[in-house]
C-alpha cells in the first residue's frame, strides 16, 4: 500500500491543480501492468489512476508518458486518459491520470478505433523520429530524427536493442555484429511511406473500452514512424478483432504484402521483451533474424 505521506503529497498536488480540496478516501491496487505499480484512488466522488515507480535510472519516465498522452490527445479523436499530476516523493515517481471506467464493446467499437488510428497516422512531419527521446516499457527509446525509415528503424530501434540483448547474454554474439546489411535489407523489403505519428506500443494490453463503449488507449511510446509498426504491434499477442483491420484498410490501405512484413516490424517489440523478460523471446528474435540471413 502507499504511505500516508505520499498520499498527502498527491492530495495536495491534485487539490492545487483542480482548485478544490481533494481528500482521497480509498486506494485499491490495480493489476495488469508489467512495469509499474498501479492504483485506483477515489476521492470527492471522482476516481483517479495512479502509477508508481521507484527506478532512479528512469526519473523522467512518467513525464514522457504524460507528454505522449497529451500529444495523442491533440492528434486524433481517440480517447486517452488525461494526465493530471506527475512528480516524485523521495525515491518514488508518480503519475496520476483520469480514471477510465470499463464498458461493453459496442457494434462500431472496432470501426471507431480503426478510423481514429488512421487519423493519428495521418499526422506527419519531414523526418522519422521526434524532438525528444522517450521510453518503451522501461527501456529508453532514441527518437533522433532520420530521413528514411530503414535507417531509423535499424539505427534507433533494432541495433541498440540487439547490442543490449547480446551484452545480457540473451542473444548469440553474432547478432551484435556491426553490419550495414540489415539496413539495406529493410530498404528493399519495406515500401517507403511518409512518417506517421504512432502510438508506439499498441498491443492489446494498452487499450480499454470505456463506459460509453469507445476505445481509449494509453501507455504510449510516441514518435513519427512507419505506420505498419503500430499495426504489427496490434498483431503481436493475438491481435485485435478482424474488423479493425478491414476498417483500417478501407480508409487508409496498406501497401500490398504488409502481412509478410509484419514479423520484421515485430522484431522491435520482441527485442524489447527479450531484453526485459528473457523467456522464449530471444529465441523468437533469433528465428526471425536467421530467416533474414544477414548476420
Ligand atoms: P504499465 O506501465 O505498468 O504497463 P499500464 O499503463 O499498462 O501499466 O496499466 C496497468 C493496467 O491498468 C492496464 O492493464 C489497465 O487495465 C489499467 N489502466 C491503465 N490506465 C488506466 C486508466 N487511466 N484508468 C483505468 N485503468 C487503467
What are the catalytic residues?
201
| Alpha-helical runs (H) found in 122-158 | 149-152
Query: Is residue 219 lining ligand 1, measured as CB closer than 6 Å?
Result: yes
Q: Can you give the pTM of this predicted structure?
A: 0.95
Name the nearest CA neighbour of 127 among 94, 158, 152: 152
The tens digit of pLDDT for each residue in 19-47 reads 999 999 999 999 877 778 899 999 989 99
Query: Is residue 218 lining ligand 1, measured as CB closer than 6 Å?
Result: yes
Residue 56's pLDDT band (boundaries 50, 70, 90)? Answer: low
Give the three cell numbers for residue 290. 536467421
CA of 33 to the centre of ligand 1 (A): 6
The CA-based dihedral angle spanning residues 203, 205, 206, 208, taken in that order and rounded to the nearest 10 degrees: 120
The tens digit of pLDDT for each residue in 206-251 reads 999 999 999 999 999 999 999 999 999 999 998 999 999 999 999 9
Query: Is residue 38 lining ligand 1, measured as CB closer than 6 Å?
Result: yes
Q: What pLDDT was estimated at residue 46?
A: 93
Domains by residue range for the chain, with CATH: 4-98 (3.30.200.20), 109-291 (3.90.1200.10)
Of ligand 1's atoms, which has the minimum distance to the CA of residue 99? 24
The tens digit of pLDDT for each residue in 153-201 reads 999 999 999 999 999 999 999 998 767 778 888 999 999 999 999 999 9
3-state DSSP call for residue 207?
Answer: strand
CA of 92 to the centre of ligand 1 (A): 18
What percentage of the chain reaches a pLDDT higher than 70? 98
Give the span between the Cα atoms of 96 and 253, in whole angstroms.
37
Name the nearest CA neighbour of 251 among 120, 125, 127, 149: 120
Residue 57's pLDDT band (boundaries 50, 70, 90)? Answer: low
Count of CA atoms in the C-beta half-sphere (13 A) of 98: 15
Amino acid at each position: 500500500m502507499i504511505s500516508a505521506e505520499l498520499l498527502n503529497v498527491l492530495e495536495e498536488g491534485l487539490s492545487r491543480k483542480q482548485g478544490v480540496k481533494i481528500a482521497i478516501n480509498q486506494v485499491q491496487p490495480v493489476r495488469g501492468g508489467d512495469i509499474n505499480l498501479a492504483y485506483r484512488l477515489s476521492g470527492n466522488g471522482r476516481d483517479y489512476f495512479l502509477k508508481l515507480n521507484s527506478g532512479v535510472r528512469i526519473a523522467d519516465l512518467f513525464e514522457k508518458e504524460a507528454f505522449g498522452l497529451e500529444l495523442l490527445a491533440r492528434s486524433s479523436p481517440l480517447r486517452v486518459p488525461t494526465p493530471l499530476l506527475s512528480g516524485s516523493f523521495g525515491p518514488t515517481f508518480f503519475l496520476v491520470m483520469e480514471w477510465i471506467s470499463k464498458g461493453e464493446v459496442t457494434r462500431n467499437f472496432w470501426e471507431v478505433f480503426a478510423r481514429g488510428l488512421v487519423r493519428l497516422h495521418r499526422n506527419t512531419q519531414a523526418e522519422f523520429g521526434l524532438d525528444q527521446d522517450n521510453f518503451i516499457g522501461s527501456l529508453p527509446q532514441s527518437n533522433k530524427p532520420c530521413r528514411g525509415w530503414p535507417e531509423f528503424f535499424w539505427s534507433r530501434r533494432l541495433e541498440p536493442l540487439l547490442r543490449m540483448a547480446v551484452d545480457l547474454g540473451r542473444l548469440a554474439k553474432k547478432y551484435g555484429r556491426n553490419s550495414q546489411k540489415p539496413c539495406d535489407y529493410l530498404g528493399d523489403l519495406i515500401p517507403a511511406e511518409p512518417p506517421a505519428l504512432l502510438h508506439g506500443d499498441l498491443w492489446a494490453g494498452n487499450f480499454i473500452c470505456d463506459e460509453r463503449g469507445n476505445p481509449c488507449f494509453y501507455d504510449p511510446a510516441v514518435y513519427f514512424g512507419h505506420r505498419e509498426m503500430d499495426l504489427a504491434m496490434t498483431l503481436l499477442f493475438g491481435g485485435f478483432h478482424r474488423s479493425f483491420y478491414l476498417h483500417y484498410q478501407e480508409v487508409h490501405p496498406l501497401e500490398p504484402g504488409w502481412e509478410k512484413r509484419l514479423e520484421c516490424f515485430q522484431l522491435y517489440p520482441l527485442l524489447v521483451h527479450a531484453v526485459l523478460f528473457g523467456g522464449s523471446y530471444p529465441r523468437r528474435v533469433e528465428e526471425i533474424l536467421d530467416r533474414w540471413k544477414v548476420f
